[in-house]
């Protein structure tokens, strides 16, 4: 993979700390046949049950029923405890259905809270439970190990951290060649991980054919069409511009469409032509700013994570958009999950009267960092290159350029859910023990 010094994250780089199918291959709808009509579905996932297909997973070597718990011993000498109702609810056999397919017959309301298996045994390295009504559940050892909820297992899923950056990214911009990024294997996983870890990745040798824009987007997911931008948006100067993007004026770093309830997830930029004077692309890591505020201006950090800011966009007679959300969203661990800031789209603050000044002060502290050379990475995107940006984390902008220069960038968006979903599925095949790590769910 042509990524220079930026290799797929393996834990060695500095990171921000911030606070086989079971039984026969029965199609999922085979189980559904006796539960009502599911007409309209023409293709089916193979039934996998409670298995992931991880070859090196520890096997189950013993099982003991202890009240409303089942203690399970593994070949790696770990002893894990599972609640009986957790195990009953999570049986994904054909009779119970599989949430991965959205065809599910056993729900939390299907069994009593005090349910306990009648027997527990190990069969060929699996855990097999028989319930009082005679129902038999088989759990693959890999599935149990991956979904265990003891402290050690939960810590494994929570160990991913973003690699935060500032202006130094200009000199070592994470980059992957298109041939590697689109190989369907390790190169693609490497590109995915760079985007996941840094929030931005450049794709070299994409080419300047406009059709390549959609090919680049399809690498991470389906294009999402919006009222404001349509499906694919050509960013070039026009004599009469409806949006600032279609002028030669400088654009301060920003999140695209912060006025949506759910802003676009992954920005896809494809450069067809550029100028040699001006028109530099600028990038700012919103997570780095958030951590800077947490450390240096905790009052501003607290305000931006609790008080809502308002973003608006209106095209009279066409659409009127408005969102209210904290500028910085935190996850359950207190880590930044998403950033929502578009200074030119900020509407009138709508907070209690005694909070207005505090909110403005906090926004100013964020904005000062965003505009600072210390936090800004700047590169010239060359014709034939693409850039993928996590729009819930990395703000992007540009310096001014001559509108007559012919600078032409194509832009579209892909939901980040789709990107994270493809990342997980590829990881499950190539690096299974990292496929289920918690990822920030955005702003």
Q: Give the model's confidence band at 44: pLDDT under 50 very low, under 70 low, under 90 confident, else very high.
A: low
Q: Which of 35-44, 107-116, 153-162, 304-313 has the lowest mean pLDDT?
A: 35-44
Number of Cα atoms under 13 Å in the Cβ half of residue 277:
5
Q: Give the model's confidence band at 14: pLDDT under 50 very low, under 70 low, under 90 confident, else very high.
A: very low
Number of Cα atoms under 13 Å in the Cβ half of residue 184:
0
Residues belonging to the chain: 443
Query: pTM of the full predicted structure?
Result: 0.88
Q: Could you tell me what percent of the chain has a pLDDT over 70?
A: 88
Give the pLDDT confidence score for residue 239 in this predicted structure. 59
If one compares 277 and 217, the residue with the highest pLDDT of the two is: 217
Place of tokens 């003991």: 64
Give the pLDDT confidence score for residue 19 in this predicted structure. 36
Give the pLDDT confidence score for residue 13 in this predicted structure. 40
Place of tokens 């599925």: 425
Give the pLDDT confidence score for residue 220 in this predicted structure. 96
Q: Is the pLDDT of residue 258 over 70?
A: yes
List the beta bridge partners of residue 90.
none
Give residues with Cβ within 8 angstroms of 36, minimum separation 6.
none
**Cβ atoms of 283 and 253 closer than 8 Å:** yes
Q: Could you tell me what percent of the chain has a pLDDT over 90?
A: 79
Task: Look at the domain 167-434 and name its fold.
Answer: Double-stranded beta-helix (3.60.130)
How far does the chain reach from its first CA to its final CA, in angstroms?
31
Q: Is the pLDDT of residue 357 over 90?
A: yes
**Cβ atoms of 69 and 83 closer than 8 Å:** yes
Place of tokens 């980040």: 416
Task: Give residue limits of the domains in the chain.
Answer: 28-157, 167-434
Which secondary-structure segment (H or E) carries 87? helix 84-89
Q: Is the pLDDT of residue 23 over 80?
A: no
Give the pLDDT confidence score for residue 18 in this predicted structure. 38
Q: Which of 217-231, 310-324, 351-365, 416-430 has the lowest mean pLDDT?
A: 217-231
Q: Which two tokens stand for residue 204?
A: 């070299």
Q: Give the model's confidence band at 403: pLDDT under 50 very low, under 70 low, under 90 confident, else very high.
A: confident
Give residues with Cβ within 8 angstroms of 232, minimum separation 6.
213, 214, 223, 410, 411, 412
Give the pLDDT confidence score for residue 420 in this predicted structure. 98
Place of tokens 């600028």: 282
**Cβ atoms of 130 and 117 closer than 8 Å:** yes
Query: What is the rounded average pLDDT of the residues 235-257?
Result: 77
Q: Is the pLDDT of residue 238 over 70?
A: no
pLDDT digits (tens, 9 = 90+) for 109-136: 999 999 999 999 999 999 999 999 999 9
In whole angstroms, what is the distance from residue 115 CA to residue 382 CA? 63
**Cβ atoms of 185 and 40 closer than 8 Å:** no
Give the pLDDT confidence score for residue 227 in this predicted structure. 76
Q: Which of 24-33, 90-99, 226-235 has the lowest mean pLDDT?
A: 24-33
Give residues with Cβ within 8 angstroms of 208, minimum separation 6.
271, 272, 273, 383, 384
If one compares 10 and 412, the residue with the highest pLDDT of the two is: 412
**Cβ atoms of 144 and 350 closer than 8 Å:** no
What mean pLDDT, rounded, does the chain reach?
Answer: 89
Q: Class of the 28-157 domain?
A: alpha beta
Q: Is the pLDDT of residue 223 over 60?
A: yes
């Amino acid at each position: 993979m042509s990524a220079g010094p930026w290799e797929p994250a393996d834990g060695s780089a500095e990171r921000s700390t911030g606070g086989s199918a079971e039984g026969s291959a029965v199609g999922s709808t085979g189980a559904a046949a006796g539960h009502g009509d599911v007409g309209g579905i023409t293709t089916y996932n193979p039934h996998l049950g409670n298995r992931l297909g991880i070859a090196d997973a520890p096997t189950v070597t013993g099982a003991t029923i202890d009240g409303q718990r089942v203690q399970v011993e593994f070949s790696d000498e770990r002893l894990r405890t599972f609640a009986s109702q957790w195990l009953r609810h999570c049986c994904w056999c054909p009779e119970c259905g599989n949430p991965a397919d959205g065809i599910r017959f056993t729900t939390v309301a299907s069994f009593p809270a005090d349910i306990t298996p009648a027997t527990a045994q190990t069969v060929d390295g699996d855990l097999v439970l028989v319930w009082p009504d005679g129902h038999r559940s088989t759990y693959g050892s890999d599935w149990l190990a991956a979904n265990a909820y003891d402290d050690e297992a939960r810590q494994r899923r929570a160990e991913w951290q973003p690699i935060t950056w500032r202006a130094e990214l200009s000199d070592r911009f994470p980059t992957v060649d298109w041939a590697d990024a689109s190989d369907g294997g390790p190169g693609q996983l490497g590109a995915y991980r760079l985007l996941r870890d840094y929030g931005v990745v450049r794709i070299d040798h994409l080419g300047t054919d406009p059709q390549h824009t959609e090919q680049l987007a399809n690498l991470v997911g389906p294009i999402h069409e919006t009222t404001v931008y349509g499906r694919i948006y050509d960013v070039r100067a026009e004599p009469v511009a409806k949006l600032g993007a279609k002028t030669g004026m400088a654009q301060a770093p920003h999140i695209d469409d912060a006025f949506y309830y759910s802003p676009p997830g992954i920005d896809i930029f494809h450069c067809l032509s550029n100028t040699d004077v001006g028109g530099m692309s600028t990038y700012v890591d919103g997570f780095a700013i958030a951590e800077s505020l947490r450390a240096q201006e905790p009052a501003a950090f607290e305000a931006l994570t609790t008080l809502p800011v308002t973003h608006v966009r209106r095209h009279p007679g066409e659409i009127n958009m408005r969102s209210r959300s904290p500028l910085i969203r935190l996850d359950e661990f207190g880590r930044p999950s998403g950033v929502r800031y578009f200074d030119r789209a900020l509407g009138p603050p709508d907070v209690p009267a005694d909070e207005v000044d505090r909110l403005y002060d906090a926004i100013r502290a964020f904005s000062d960092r965003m505009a600072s050379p210390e936090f800004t990475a700047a590169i010239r995107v060359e014709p034939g290159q693409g850039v993928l940006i996590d729009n819930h984390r990395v703000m992007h902008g540009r310096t001014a350029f001559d509108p007559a220069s012919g600078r032409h960038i194509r832009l579209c968006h892909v939901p980040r859910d789709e990107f994270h979903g493809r990342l997980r599925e590829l990881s499950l095949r190539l690096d299974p023990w990292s496929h289920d790590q918690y990822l920030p769910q955005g702003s």
